Structure 1
Amino acid sequence: MDPVSFLGLEATHNPHRWYLPVIPQLCTGHQFLFGGCGLGAVIEAMERTTGRPVVWATAQYLSYARPPSVMDIDVTIPVAGRSISQARAVGHVGDTEILTVNAALGDRSIEARGQMIEMPVVPAPEECAERPHRFSGEEDTIMRRLEMRLAVGRQFAEFDGTPLPGGRSALWARVRDLPETTAAKLAVLGDYVPFGTSQALGRQVGGNSLDNTLRVVRLVPTEWVLIDIEVHAIERGFAHGLVHLWAQDGTLLATASQSTIAREWT
C-alpha cells in the first residue's frame, strides 16, 4: 500500500487541489484528525503536485477536523526553481482552516555528505514490550494501524511522578500496511512529542500539537523506525521537544520538532 491509499488521499481535476476524507482510522482517541496524518497527507499532495521530494515541511495546527468531514488541501507553488520548489498549502473543512503548511521540495546531487550523530543504543524491537493503547476503543483510530514497542521509558501504570533523566524516551514503530519509507509516513511517526512529555515528567500529561516541522534526511528501507524523543522543557502550559527518526541500521531518516499544549490527563 502506498501513502495515497493508506491515507485515503484523493486527487481532483485540479492538480493543485486534493481531498482527504477524515475517517476514524486517521484520528486520535478523541476523534479528531491526528496531526501527523494531516501533515503526511499535505506532504504527499505537495510531492505529487510538484513532482519533487520534500526537504522540510512545517505545519501549524489551527483547528480540529472530525469524521465524517472532508478536508480540502489547496497547494500553491510560489517558486519553482531549477532544483527546488517552495510551496505552501492550506487544509480546510468548508471555511474552517485546519492546518497550514509551508515546505521546500527538491533534490540536489553534491559530493559533500555525512551523518554526524549516532542512533542511541536501545533494545531491538522484538526485545521490547508492546505499548498498550491509552484509550478504550483505539482499534477504531490511527493507533490500530501502528505497532508500538517501548524501547526507553515507562508504561502508563508505572508513572510515579519521577522525571525521566534527560527527558529522553523512545519507541519502535511499525506502520501496518505501509512498509515503504516515505516522508508522509515519517510525518505520522514524528508527531510524538506529546507522548514524550508524559514520559519526561513521569506523570499523565499529554498534549495537542501546535506545530510540527519535519526535516527529511535520507529515506532507506526499514521494517521498524525508532522514534527517539527528547523533551527540552515544559513551562507556562506548553511543552517543547525534538524527535529523531532512525532506521534499524542506524541511518537518520528525519527529524521532527514540536511545541504542544500540555494537558493533565484525567
Structure 2
Amino acid sequence: MPDSSTNLIKLTPAEDRLHWSLKVTSDVAGATGTLHGGCGLAASAAAMEAACDRPIVYISGQYLSRAPVGSDVTIEVEELAVGNRVTQAAASVTCGGAVVLRASAALGGHDLQIDRGWRQIPTVPSPEDCPRRQATSETGHSFTDYSDIRLAGQMPGEAAVYYWARLERGLTSSTAGLIALADLIPSGMRVSLGKAFRGSSLDHAVRITSLEESDWVLIRIEADAIRNSVGHGRAEIYSQSGSLLATGSQSFAISAITGPLDR
C-alpha cells in the first residue's frame, strides 16, 4: 500500500479518484512565494499513489509555470498502462487553466527476495554537531525554512555538498518527504559554484530505493555541470542507519547571479 504522503501534502479529493486539489500554503511554497517544485512533484506522487493504489517507484516532472501562495491547484491523474505488478501513470498539475507541472511515474513492483543496495553512506558529523542552515526566503516562510536542514559538509567550489534534513511529524523518510527534499539540488550547487543566484527548476526526477523510517536523512548533492546558465546535478538520500532511500537528478535555469555565496 502507498505510504501516508498526504500527511505532508494535504490533498483534497475531487469528483473521482483521478482528480485531486491542493491549496498552496507557505509550508509547501518555495522562496519565491509560489508552489515549491519538490512539493508539487510530491503532490503529484501522492495523487498517483491514491489513484493507482500502488507505491511510487520512480517519478519525474517538468516544470512549466508557477502557482502562488493562496491559489488552488488541481491534479489530474491518468493511468497509462496497468500491469499485474506495475502501473505507469501521468499527472497534470494546473492552476487557473495554466499547466504548472507535468509528471510521469511508475508504481508497484513485487518481492522476489533479491532487494539489495550498493551505495555507502558518506561519513559526516552527526546532525546534532552540524549548524542549522539559515532561512532561504525573504519572509522566512517556505517549505525549506520550516524544514530543519543542517550543514553537514560544504566547501565552495567542491562538487559534493552534504545536508542533514528533518521534517515535522516523522515524515522525513516518507515518499513525499524524500521527493520534496531531493529538490535541494540547486541549493547545493550554489555552494559548488561559490555564488548566490536566482533560478527556476526545469525538471526533477526521483527514484525511491527503500522506505525505512528515519528521523533524519543525509542528502549528498553532487554538481555535474553548468552550461549556458543551465545547471545539472544529482542527489543521494540516506537514512541514519546508512540505507539508500532515494536518488534524484535535476536541471535548472539560472536567471541571474545575485552576489557572493549567502548560505
Normalising by the smaller structure, the TM-score range is: over 0.9
In the aligned structure 2, how far is the partner of 1:73 from the partner of 1:55?
19
Range 7-16 or range 247-256, more displaced:
7-16
Q: State whether structure 2 residue 126 is matched by structure 1 residue 124.
A: yes
Q: Tell me the CA shift for residue 28 of structure 1.
A: 1.3
Structure-2 separation of matches of 1:190 and 1:241: 11
User: Counterparts of 1:246 and 1:28 in 2: how far apart (Å)?
Assistant: 23
Contact 2:26-2:69 within 8 A present in 1 as well: yes
**Cα distance in structure 1, aligned partners of 2:185 and 2:93:** 22
Q: Specify whether residues 149 and 209 from structure 1 end up closer, same or farther in structure 2 by C-alpha distance, changes over 3 A only.
A: same
| Partner residue, 2:200 | 208
CA–CA distance in structure 2, aligned partners of residues 76 and 5 of structure 1: 23
Aligned CA distance change for structure 1 residues 195 and 180 (closer, same or farther; 3 Å): closer
Alignment partner of 2:175 out of 153, 169, 183: 183
CA distance in 2, matches of 1:180, 1:61: 24
Deviating above 3 A after TM superposition, structure 1's stretches of 4 or more consecutive aligned residues are none
Could you tell me the percent identity over the aligned residues? 32
User: Does the alignment pair 1:234 with 2:226?
Assistant: yes
**SS, match of residue 218 in structure 1:** coil
Q: Who is 1:264 aligned against?
A: 257
Q: Residues 11 and 22 of structure 2 are in contact (CA less than 8 Å); yes or no, is this contact kept in structure 1? A: yes
Provide the aligned C-alpha RMSD in A.
Answer: 1.4
- 2:90 pairs with 1:88: yes
Question: In the aligned structure 2, how far is the partner of 1:264 from the partner of 1:178?
Answer: 36
Deviation at 1:178, TM superposition (A): 4.1
Q: TM-score, normalised by structure 2?
A: 0.93
One-letter code of the match for 2:144?
M
Q: Which amino acid aligns with 1:132?
A: Q
Q: Per-residue displacement from partner, 1:93-133 (whole Å, max 9, x unpaired)?
A: 12100000000000211132321121111111001011111
Deviations 1:216-239 (A, max 9, x none): 100101000111100111111011
For 2:174 and 2:153, the matched residues in 1 are separated by 25
1:157 match: none
Q: Secondary structure at the match of 1:200?
A: helix
Determine the structure 1 residue equivalent to 2:57: 55
Instruction: Please report how far the alpha carbon of residue 205 of structure 1 lies from its aligned counterpart in structure 2 after TM superposition.
Output: 2.9
Query: 1:222 is paired with a residue of what secondary structure?
Result: coil
CA deviation profile, 1:13-55 (whole Å, cap 9, x unmatched): 3110000111122111210110010000110110111110011
- Residue aligned with 1:204, SS: strand
The answer to whether the 8 Å contact 1:197/1:205 transfers is no
